Structure 1
Amino acid sequence: MFLRSFLRRLARVGRTFLYLALLLAALLSLRAGDLIREDVPSQVRQFTRPWEFDYVSWTLDALWAKERQAVLDLPRYLTPAQQRQAVLDYLDLVRQLDRVEADIADFYANPAVKNPQVLTAPLVARRERLLAQWQRQRLLAEAVLEHQISTVIADLGLSVGGQPIPPLLYHVTPLPMALIVSPRTVIRQEADISLQPDLPLETITHLEQVVERGLNVSALVVPVGGIGIYPTMVMRSDNLPWLVETVAHEWIHNYLTLHPLGLLYEASPEMRTINETTASLAGKEIARAVLARYYPEFLPSETENEAHPPSSDGGAAKAFDFRAEMHTTRVTVDALLAAGKVDEAEAYMEARRRFFWEHGYPIRRLNQAYFAFYGAYADTPLGPQGQDPVGEAVRTLRARSPDLATFLRRIAWVTSYQALQHLLAQTGS
């Protein structure tokens, strides 16, 4: 009994040291761009410092929560059916909480409502009860999903002794927003500054305007769904396929941080695209395997987002294709910027923003910074990456790899786009 207790304590100490080492690696990776291009981020921070997010405090708090979760080892006391039900109950609770918060927001947004504080008092009380319940249930739901996703990762050959390295840890939390900065003359991300969650829109627009005026750049504050620090940060959601995919996507970033590809994330725009496209492809593949094994009723169809069904007259049904239209927009913008027509490109992007809005896509701003951020996620042929060949090279390597584990072990050691091209030449057709 004494020996077992001693070994358990020793394992906890080892796990704590592992957490701290991975935290250091994640923080170094997160700020690698600052070390490479300190000039632009430091100039931007002249405007953003009062609103920047404190990663160190958040990570220490999250690690403490995860340590308590690990000590309890809650999934071990539940049957697979009970584990599944714990996740479904949690998702239902999130759904109720989101609905109440939306109802409260509607009261405050309605100009006909004169006393929203009085009218929403019962809703606010219900929200507080749901939040307290959510706080109690989320650690169990996180622990179960971590266990389920880790099991699938091991089955896919991405573990050591059945344990993913690093261990899969995520924490649901309000996420920082990202202030993205690009030159006006070319689409290239030169700064990514994390801001506090839930900043008022007036603060967001003020920051964008002062950065653009002060530095003659394109700036945009964007929401993010997850961040690959350690433990990873994930937005609260009742959408199980999205949640599992995001958790897997961010774990891939943790995995890559222990390899050259992840450590060189900010070395060039091409390396960022390789990282994000790899994480997107792998995250989707892992998520499908998790859903198929534990939640098959949530598994989306393989062809869900493919060609439109034929119309009654025998032709293809006409529908708005957001990715194709965004691809066209990016290609046109790149051509205008290459010709030195910056003002024309910006006027065109504003016209296209209104076009997307009319088709049900409420994009707040469409500018160079928008494409600099979203263009790195090139897991599909069409989209905001335009004709950038980097994403296509990553997709080709996955197609030439016999399984996901082989693909990740190959690409994890890539140190440049040229190295990726060389690897493709070695793998053949």
Structure 2
Amino acid sequence: MGAGILAILVLVSSTVPGGERLEQVRAYTRGVEFDYAGWMLAALWDKGQQWALSAPRYWDEKTQRQVVEDWAALTREVQALRAESARIFADPSVSDPQTAAAPVLARLRAREAEQARLGALSEEILQIQTRAVLAEMGLTYGKQAVPSVLYRISKLPLALVVSPREVIRQDANISLLPDMGLDEITALEQRVEQELGVSALVVQIGGVAVYPAMVMETTNLVYLTDTVAHEWTHNYLTLRPLGMLYDASPELRSMNETAASLAGKEIGLRVLERYYPDLVPPPPAPPAAPQTQQPPAEPPAFDFRAEMHITRVEADRLLADGKVDEAEAYMEARRQVFYANGYVLRRLNQAYFAFHGAYADTPLGAAGEDPVGPAVRALRAQSGSLREFLNRISWMDEFADLQKALQP
């Protein structure tokens, strides 16, 4: 538990960005901010009790896998029961929804209790499996991951992201209570924008690298193994210069997020290959052989990442020319294009790109022409293993270090 306490102290100080802008924004959010310290202490206490009573570490792999799969199936049932109860209460033709929903709610309570029991076991199993894979990949010390892999399924806080209007840059990222309604969210965004003259957006997140890490509820084990590994990588980096300086510059933030995304995918895939091989995603299909007679041309499918890249590049160009109003009108017009093609984006503004643009583990997308993502990917391609890559990038404290590492 000593490593956990150390991680709490480091993480609390390194994940809260400083600066005057942050304090200006917090004047509007103090009453609805998420309590990380309280959550982490409660989660660590629960994890300590689970470890003392832990049975999964003595089970064989077949039993461990069955428990995880049972938990995923049960979680799907719980989610369906929640949706059914919500539908009953929303149906105007139901005169007494409380009575009509009573059998559903009774079953939901019973299944949620079983879900909580299996959930604790499932978390312990996935932690054990991830630690074993980290040892196989050489990312441990004496077969011990530092920090140890700890995560907890939880309702995740929302994040209020703030960017200047004149340039895309994250100046604040403040965690908010997870149960805020859409009316509260939009009112907060409007107030911050109008009174501070900035771009604001409240976004949902998939995980938070506190300790234990917070991970959203999902039955998708491909996503879950990736996210657990992604957040562990952040915990790992936080004990080194790159993670400690997460908020020192936009470039360092992007280096952190892109490195964690690359590592999360590699580690998560290895967990699947080792323990859940039937869930491993199929490899990309090879390019089709050229045809002498071309079929009739069809309209190209809408490529979200390519279209978002185009949007970011043009928005950056307009902002660089000082055309702030034009850039904002352009982004709203593009949001409507995305909506027409099945992608529901509530808002598309500078804050959207400031947040999503830091995740540049794959080409194109919200990062636009930002050179950081391609540089991180190049360093990974240049490194012989994930261990070598993380060991190199984790000790960097500025983007210039990365650029220098890539010089021939």
Same fold (TM over 0.5): yes
Cα distance in structure 1, aligned partners of 2:343 and 2:357: 17
Aligned partners of 1:315 and 1:247: how far apart in 2?
43
What amino acid sits opposite 2:270 in the alignment? A
Structure-2 separation of matches of 1:346 and 1:114: 46
Moved more, 132-141 or 121-130: 121-130
TM-score, normalising length: structure 2: 0.96
Structure 1 residue corresponding to 2:166, chosen from 156, 180, 185: 185
Q: Counterpart of 2:342? A: 360
**Structure 1 residues 364 and 156: alpha-carbon distance in aligned structure 2, compared to 1, 3 A threshold:** same
Q: Counterpart of 2:342 in 1: which secondary structure?
A: coil
Aligned residue for 2:161, secondary structure, equals strand
Would you say 1:27 and 2:12 are equivalent positions?
yes
Q: 1:421 to 1:54 in 2, by over 3 A?
A: same
Partner of residue 6, structure 1: none
| Cα 1:23/1:283, change in 2 over 3 Å | same
- Tell whether the 8 Å contact from 1:173 to 1:236 is kept in structure 2 after alignment: yes
Classify 1:268/1:148 alpha carbon distance in 2 versus 1 (closer, same or farther; 3 Å): same
Amino acid paired to 2:40 = T
Counterpart among 233, 245, 256 of residue 237 in structure 2 = 256
Superposed displacement of residue 366, structure 1? 0.6
Q: How does 1:85-164 map to 2 (within 5 A)?
A: 85-164=66-145
Counting only pairs closer than 5 Å after superposition, residues 176-255 of structure 1 correspond to structure 2 as 176-255=157-236
Equivalent residue runs for 1:5-84 within 5 Å: 16-31=1-16, 33-34=17-18, 37=19, 39-84=20-65
Output the TM-score relative to the length of structure 1: 0.91
Alpha-carbon distance in 1 for matches of 2:165, 2:22:
16
The equivalent residue for 1:396 is 378
Q: How many residues align?
A: 406
Supply the AA of the counterpart residue of 1:164: A
Q: How does 1:283-322 map to 2 (within 5 A)?
A: 283-303=264-284, 313=295, 318-322=300-304
Aligned in 2, Cα 1:116/1:287: closer, same or farther, shift over 3 Å? same
Structure 2 CA distance, aligned partners of 1:300 and 1:127?
Answer: 32
Counterpart contact for 1:157–1:405, Cα < 8 Å: yes
- Give, in whole Å, the separation in 2 of the partners of 1:71 and 1:314: 65
- Counterpart CA distance in 2 for 1:252 and 1:342 is 37
Structure 2 gaps, min length 5: none
Whole-angstrom distance in 2 between the partners of 1:202 and 1:308: 49
Question: What is the Cα deviation at residue 108 of structure 1?
Answer: 3.6
Partner secondary structure for residue 134 of structure 1: helix
Q: Distance in 1 between matches of 2:244 and 2:207?
A: 18
**Distance in 2, Cα, partners of 1:129 & 1:151:** 34
Distance 1:64 1:310 in 2: 61
1:73 Cα offset (Å) = 2.6
Write out aligned runs for 1:258-273 (5 A).
Answer: 258-273=239-254
- Aligned position for 2:328: 346
Contact 1:245 1:284 in 2 (8 A): yes
CA distance in 2, matches of 1:123, 1:310: 56
More deviation, 125-134/114-123? 114-123
- CA RMSD of superposed structures (Å): 1.8
1:11 — aligned with what? none
Question: Deviation per CA, 1:147-186, whole angstroms, max 9, x where unpaired?
Answer: 0011001100100011111100001110000000000010
Which residue does 1:412 correspond to in 2? 394
Deviation digits for residues 57-105 of structure 1, max 9, x if unmatched? 1000000011011112322231110000010001001111111112223
> Does the Cα contact within 8 Å between 2:164 and 2:171 map onto a contact in 1?
yes
Q: C-alpha displacement at 1:135, in angstroms? A: 1.2
Alignment gaps of 5+ in structure 1: 1-15
Tell me: CA distance 1:316–1:77, structure 2 relative to 1, closer, same or farther (3 Å): farther
Partner Cα separation in structure 2 for residue 88 and residue 278 of structure 1 = 29
Q: Deviations over 1:169-227 (max 9, x none)?
A: 00111000000000001000000000011211111111101111110100000000100
Question: CA distance change for structure 1 residues 340 and 230 in 2, over 3 Å: closer, same or farther?
Answer: same
